[in-house]
Amino acid sequence: MGLQKNSWVSDLFGIDLRTLAVVRIVAAITVLATLAILFQDVTEFFTDDGIYPRDHWLSRSQNPFWVSFHMIRGELWWQVLLFAVQVVLALMLLVGYKTRFASIATWILMVSLFNRTPPIDHRGDTLLCLLLLWGALTPWAARFSVDAALNTVKEFPTRVTSFATAGLILQMPLVYFVSVLLKLEDGSWRFPDMTAVFYSLSPEYVTPFGAWLVQIQPFWATQAKTVFTLVAEGVGPLLMFFIFVAPGVRHRWLPRLRWIAIGALTLMQLGLAVTVAVGLFPLISTLGLLPALPATLWDRWSRTARVQRASQTTIFFHPDCGFCKKAALLIRQLLLPNSTAVLPASADPTIVEEMTQRNSWIVRDGEGALHDRYGAFLLLISVSPWAFVLYYPLRALSFVGDPLYRWIAENRNVTGHLTQGLEFRPYRVRAGLVVTLLSALLMTNMLYSNVDSVVYGSTGEWHSPVELRRFQRSLRIHQNWRMFVSPYLWSNYYVIHGTLLDGTEVQLFAGGPIHLTPEPMAWDPPSELRSYAIYKNYRWRLYLQTIRDSTGSNDRGPYASYVCRTWNQHHFGDERLDTLRFYRMVRTRDLLRDPFLDEAEQRLLWRHWCFGRPADDQDD
């Protein structure tokens, strides 16, 4: 789908190719961070020895479209293999190598990963999958990538407009706007209460900085933050797509309004990240804002002194060395602006002589001085607009860099074989028919799904068919942004009361996982009733929130089995665990209107027998 450069549609939904590249890079980093966090609990979350075995998953799933490659096997080695594949794909996405394949494969495996253990996922996971899918349908490898370095297409636009770019740029503003509509249903977000932000800093969710902030800020400050959140989420998206009739006025004011909206929403996400334990959600939300970055950012960047210096630099490579040409093009694409010249030595007779004498590539700086070997690489780093911070560390490694370059120069046949897979090929920016149709279908799904979620919030009844919603959820394209809508008015912590075969009573709960050394039985809360003190990490909190609610009651048995299995794998004889009781300890007080401490109420969630329930035990 191509549109005229000066049309209002292009102004609103077009994206600069450099912005798309930044979105791709940040998306890959976000995927890697997500994998790193989840891998800490790979056994507990993704194997049959963990909290959600495959047989339980199969018995619970009512969605015939729910598919996960992570469900094929339940052993640890299979999950480690899939995680390794996902890391490789994310790295390919990061550097932009075979990007379309890497993008689609990354999306498929991330959907598979989140589908494997539904109790630990959240709407940020769905948002990440949506952004990956939108990105896969755009040419987000047209800049700052291996594919772009080896591209044989000579003429490239600087900006593209398509259904996919429209969906990518609309996705996060739509999340915010729909979220505001849903939040306004709850009185804590409306005048005169304005207490939503105060309750979001309740002990179960707050970070150490948030806990400190609660102690020093007056109540009116939290009310002001509630108003700021509503204004930023409600008005910000409107500013991003404000249509001016006159093109000149639109071109002048739309970038400015977008900077205001992006600044306010990013500030809100930063505040959320440092005060409330919500995992990577602020990073994913910020990633969703990046497509709206105005092209004026790159216009100003291209006029900076460092870019001008890089533009006056020329890289010369040996014309008979295929590896040398590829390496020069890759360095320019990943480190330098496209205005940096990359030429064969034959383009300048004096360079040919210098290259022969020095047995090295040559880089000529803006003043005409020639640099060779590792020094040439250091020069390119020093003029790079974004890698210049690495100059001094890399210069300190010259004792390694110089011998490494000599080895490469003397073994060009070896390095040539290593780069044979890097083939010159055309990279197409214009979307084909299939991509356009898929993007249009995904756009229709996005709009319909969000409208349905708002209507559902007001009526309590979905208008879309249940089978359609199941299909959407299986692909992580169902959109329902009911997040942070209704605050919790109380605080919770958990106790696992275990009894060993010798009659010893122990407290097993350790933030989701369990203590493997006997802890004396105690009902008291942690010394600090904060998220970081109660839970091992954000995913464990999500899981425990799920199983403590009535909708997750059927998932408590597998958790209890995991506790028994884990303890008894490390203890023998009479030290083995015989029975356990899993309690939710609730302080049912309004944190704002009833600030005095009260006694925690014990709510038994599950009773479990590790070796089978005795026939004469009739307790529920």
In this prediction, what percent of the chain has a pLDDT beyond 70?
Answer: 95
pLDDT confidence of 162, banded at 50, 70, 90?
A: very high
For 519, 522, 556, 566, the CA distances from 505, given in Å and listed in that order, are 9, 10, 21, 17
- Check residue 304 and give its pLDDT: 86
Does 305-384 carry CATH code 3.40.30? yes
204-210-213-218 Cα dihedral, nearest 10 degrees: -50
527-531-537-543 Cα dihedral, nearest 10 degrees: 110
**Amino acid present at 89:** L
CB 560 within 8 A of CB 56: no
Phi-psi region of 194 (alpha: psi -120 to 50; beta: other; left: phi over 0): left
Dist CA 306 CA 383 (whole Å): 6
- Check residue 592 and give its pLDDT: 66
The residue behind tokens 């000149």 is 248
Dist CA 186 CA 461 (whole Å): 18
- Check residue 2 and give its pLDDT: 43
Query: CB under 8 Å to 616, separation ≥6 — which residues?
Result: none
Task: Tell me: cis bond preceding 192? Omega within 30 of 0 counts.
Answer: yes
| Mean pLDDT value of segment 497-520 | 92
Write out the two tokens for 565.
């299995």
Write out the two tokens for 491.
């605080």
| Mean pLDDT value of segment 268-287 | 93
pLDDT confidence of 3, banded at 50, 70, 90?
A: very low
Q: Is beta strand 362-364 parallel, antiparallel or unpaired with respect to 370-372?
A: antiparallel
pLDDT confidence of 556, banded at 50, 70, 90?
A: very high
- Check residue 589 and give its pLDDT: 60
3-class SS string, 547-567: HHCHHHHHHHHHHHHHHHHHH
pLDDT confidence of 590, banded at 50, 70, 90?
A: low
**Strand order in 577-587's β-sheet?**
505-507, 491-500, 577-587, 601-609
| Mean pLDDT value of segment 567-590 | 89
Write out the two tokens for 513.
């996982």
Cβ neighbours around 74 below 10 Å, total: 17
Q: Is the pLDDT of residue 620 over 70?
A: no
Dist CA 560 CA 608 (whole Å): 6
Among 282-296, 470-484, 487-501, the range with the most confident prediction by mean pLDDT is: 282-296
Q: Is the pLDDT of residue 84 over 70?
A: yes
Domain ranges of the chain: 17-296+429-474, 305-384, 491-609
- Check residue 156 and give its pLDDT: 80
Q: What mean pLDDT, rounded, does the chain reach?
A: 89
pLDDT tens per residue, range 170-179: 999 999 999 9
- Check residue 104 and give its pLDDT: 97
Return the ∠ at Cα 438 (arms to 432 and 443), rounded to 5°: 120
pLDDT tens per residue, range 230-276: 999 999 999 999 887 788 888 889 999 999 999 999 999 999 999 98
- Check residue 598 and give its pLDDT: 61
Tell me the DSSP string of 489-531. Answer: -SEEEEEEEEEETTS-EEE-BSSSSB-SS--B---SPPSS-SH
| Mean pLDDT value of segment 560-565 | 96
| Half-sphere CA count of 311, side-chain side, radius 13 A | 10
| Mean pLDDT value of segment 523-541 | 80
The residue behind tokens 């030595």 is 345
In this prediction, what percent of the chain has a pLDDT beyond 90?
Answer: 57
- 153-167, 305-319, 592-606: lowest mean pLDDT where? 592-606
- Check residue 59 and give its pLDDT: 85
The residue behind tokens 């692909």 is 475
CB 145 within 8 A of CB 427: no
